[in-house]
Structure 1
Amino acid sequence: MITEVDLSGTPCFAPDAKLTGLKKINFIFGPNGSGKTTLSNKIQTINLDDIETEIEDIAVFNRDYIKDSFRECQAPGHITLGKENSALKDEIDQLTEQLEQHKGKLEDTQTKIEDAERERERLLDVTQSSIGPRRKQLTTIFKDYNSLYPKSAPLIPGNNPTLFAKLLQFKSSEDATLSTNCDTIEKILDILKQIPKADATEILVPSIPDTNYTLSSIETILSTTVTLNNDSPMSTFINKHNLHDWIRRGLATVETDNLSSCPFCQQKLTDQLISELKNVFDDRHTAHIQAITKANETIKTYITNCETLTTSLATNPDYKSIDYNTHLTIINKALNEIRHTQSKLEQKANESNKILSTGLSEDPFQTIREQLTLITSQINHHNNAINAGKSKRTEAIRNARTALYKYLTGVEFCDILDTYLQTLATINLKTPTEADISSIKQKITHIHTETDNKLSKMTQVGEKMTFINQILTYIGFNSFSLTTPEQTSKLSSPEFQSGQYILVRHSNDGTNNPIDTSTLSEGERTLLTFLYFITKYYKDGKGSSPTANLLSTLLVIDDPIASTDAETFFLITNIIRRLLDQVSSSNNNNSVKQVIITSHNTRFLKEVAFSFLNERESDSKACYYSIQKGQTGSSILGPKASSLITNEYNELWAEVRRCNKIVVQARKSHITPQAFPLLGNTMRRIIESYFLDIGGLGTITSLSKSTDRSTATLLAFCNSSSHSSIGSDIYDILHMDSFKLLTAFKRVFETLDGGQHIGHYRMMMRDRPGDTSQQNS
Structure 2
Amino acid sequence: MFFVSKDTVRVISELRMNAVASFKSEALLVTDKKINLIYGLNGTGKTIISNYLHNSDNPQFVQCRKTLELSDSILVYNQTFIQENFYDSDSLKGIFTLSKENKTAEEKIAKATTSLASLEGKLKRKSEEKQQVSEEFETQKREAVDEVWKIKTTYEKDSVLEDCLDNLKKRKPLFEYLCKITKPESQPEKTIQGLREEMDALKGESAQEQPSLPSLNFPAQEIERNSIFNESIVGNTDSQVAKLIDKLGNADWVRKGIEYLPKHVDENGQPCPFCQKNTITSKFVDSVKNYFDATYKKQIDTLEEIRKSYIEARYAIPRDISIYKNHQFAEKRVAALTEKHQELTELLVGNISYIKQKIEHPKLPQALKSSVEALAAFNNEIKAINTEIEAYNAQLKDRDSNLNTLKGSSGKGVLWCYFQIETGIVADSRIW
TM-score grouping bracket, smaller chain normalisation: 0.3 to 0.5
User: RCO greater where, 1 or 2, for CA within 8 Å and sep 6 or more?
Assistant: 1
TM-score (ref. length: structure 2): 0.36
- Larger Rg over CA atoms: 2
